[in-house]
Amino acid sequence: MLLRETITQAIYSLAINKLRSWLTIMGVAVGVFSIIAVMTALDAIDKSVESGLTSLGANTFQIQKNPATTFGSGHSRNFYANRKDITYQQALMFRKGMTGQARTIGFIISSMANQAKFANLTTNPDVTITGGDENFSASSGYTVASGRNLSEGDIRSARNTVVLGSEVAATLFPSGENPQNKLIKINGEVYTIAGVLNKKGAAFGQSQDNFVLIPITRYLSHINEKSSLSITIEALSRKDYPLAIDRAIGTMRLARGLTVKDPNDFEIRTNESLIDSFRDIQQAIGTGAFIISFMALLTAGVGIMNIMLVSVTERTREIGIRKSIGAPRGIILLQFLLESLFLSLAGGLIGITIGILIGNVVALQFNLPPIFPWLWVTVSLFVCSGIGMIFGLFPAWKAANLNPVEALRPK
């Protein structure tokens, strides 16, 4: 009964100083918002990671120079940067060594941010040029929609043939005419279109169809000769997968000319390792967001304490009156504690609401389903309550222990 009255009084007192209350609330809201928004976005992205990453294809792994992500000191980054590129010759040796031990072995090399032109139509300058071989489309999960794939002959002779990703085809041939044998310009060079690939869709918000496929030999001779290849290997079967990885490592060491003492100077990327490295990024962002939010909340807590101290000073007379008509210390304490609790909880709720909205807007950009991060919402509410109580305790204690004679003395 008394509790309900005290709650009413607390809310009433906050309502009187609207501007001040809102400013204090916003302080808390910012802290909560940042953690909720980041966590919502990360959770949403996480949900799509497994499905997204398995787009590599089942039983498939890659060999590349560098790991998918590198974290840590400059030292470790230099360590990877000093590795020698995987050359076409090494890749060919590798394929020869793996003969009969893998279903397909494809080579890829790519560069981003290119532009393709047909007649008066131009793509955005964000097209990826992928240098591949005849096995690329199959081992990367593409099928040919029309025309033909790159042929062995295209690769051998480094011909200026190109296979279009569905998005590039749609941009350059919007009326649906058959692009086969048409000539297009890519970065100023003329290519003959051999075929068009089927749509694969997006992963992590990135289109996987906004690219053109040219013979890897052409890529190395005309676009960039100093690039490191990535080799995609499809094992014979699921059962054979671990064995294929072992053999691939051995064969690659041979192709790279490593002695027994040398460590591997290349990385094996599996779906699992990609997910792991994504989790690393996620964890780093999460930790960063958590620390920043914690600091922000601490600052907000000091803000609450400050405003509550001002409030206690301003309302000394009110406290004196309440005490003179019989308010016990506990009730005065409770009233001020509830005020700071409400401030921080209101901030928390606003932060959570805006955070979830913004987080899901981000998730939406990545074409991900909406998420409600229960765990973080619960954690935030608890943390907010804690902050309200801890930082409100001293002002409330001060109010409760005011001497009524002093408090009532006219100023």
Cβ nearer to other proteins, comparing 72 with 410:
410
User: Where does this chain touch other proteins (CB under 8 A) — which range of 162-170, 171-179, 223-231, 397-405?
Assistant: 397-405
Cβ contact 48:370 at 8 Å: no
Cα angle 177-181-185, degrees, rounded to a multiple of 5: 90
Separation of alpha carbons 195 and 177, rounded Å: 12
Per CB under 8 A, 7 contacts other proteins: no
The nearer residue to other proteins, 100 or 410, going by C-beta atoms, is 410
First CA to last CA distance, the chain: 34
Q: How far is the CB of 36 from other proteins (least distance, A)?
A: 35
Q: CA 81 → CA 90, 108, 219, 228, distances in Å?
A: 19, 19, 22, 11
User: If binding is defined by CB under 8 A, does position 325 make contact with other proteins?
Assistant: yes
- C-alpha span between 63 and 23 (Å, rounded): 54
Closest approach, Cβ 277 to other proteins, in A, equals 60
Q: How far is the CB of 409 from other proteins (least distance, A)?
A: 9
Helix axes 2-16, 18-53, angle to 10 degrees: 100
Is there binding between residue 218 and other proteins (CB under 8 A)?
no
Closer to other proteins by CB, 229 or 334: give it: 334
Using CA atoms, how far residue 1 sits from 6, 14, 205, in Å, is 9, 20, 54
Q: Counting contacts by CB under 8 A, is residue 19 touching other proteins?
A: no
Q: Any residues with CB less than 8 A from the CB of 7 and at least 6 apart, and which?
A: 338
Among 321, 358, 381, 389, binds other proteins (CB under 8 A): 321
> DSSP secondary-structure letter at 263?
P
1 binds other proteins (CB under 8 A): yes
User: Nearest distance from residue 317's CB to other proteins, in Å?
Assistant: 7
> Phi and psi at residue 121, in whole multiples of 5°?
-100, 140
**Residue 314 touching other proteins (CB under 8 A):** no
Q: Which is nearer to other proteins, 330 or 369 (CB)?
A: 330
16 interacts with other proteins by CB under 8 A: yes
Question: Taken in order 277, 259, 248, 222, is the CA torsion positive or negative?
Answer: positive
**410 sits near other proteins (criterion: CB under 8 A):** yes
Nearest CA among 139, 141, 170, 317 for reference residue 232: 139
User: Is 201 one of the binding residues for other proteins (CB under 8 A)?
Assistant: no
Does residue number 46 form part of the binding site for other proteins (CB under 8 A)?
Answer: no
- The minimum distance between CB 310 and other proteins, in angstroms, equals 17
Nearest to 265 by CA among 83, 49, 124, 22: 83
Does residue 317 interact with other proteins by CB under 8 A?
A: yes
* Identified binder of other proteins from the candidate list 116, 327, 350, 352, rule CB under 8 A: 327
**5 is a contact residue toward other proteins (CB under 8 A):** yes
In whole angstroms, how close is the CB of 30 to other proteins at the nearest point? 30
40 CB burial (10 A radius; 0-12, 13-18, 19+): buried
| Residue 18 engages other proteins in binding (rule: CB under 8 A) | no
Rg, Å, the chain Cα set: 32
Distance CA 183, CA 374 (A): 54
Stretch that binds other proteins, among 149-157, 182-190, 362-370, 403-411 (CB under 8 A): 403-411
**Which of 159, 218, 253, 323 touches other proteins by CB under 8 A?**
323
| Binding of residue 372 to other proteins (CB under 8 A) | no
Q: Closest approach of Cβ 407 to other proteins, in Å?
A: 9
Which letter does DSSP use for residue 367 in this model? T
Say how far apart CA 131 and CA 108 lie, in whole Å. 6
Min CB(396)–other proteins separation in Å: 15
408 binds other proteins (CB under 8 A): yes
DSSP type of residue 264: P
Q: Which helix or strand (DSSP H or E) is residue 130 part of?
A: strand 127-132
Per CB under 8 A, 320 contacts other proteins: yes
Tell me if residue 278 falls in helix, strand or coil. helix
Does the footprint of other proteins cover residue 313 (CB under 8 A)?
Answer: no
Closest distance between other proteins and the C-beta of residue 326, in Å?
2
Residues that bind other proteins (CB under 8 A): 1-2, 5, 12, 16, 317-318, 320-331, 403-405, 408, 410
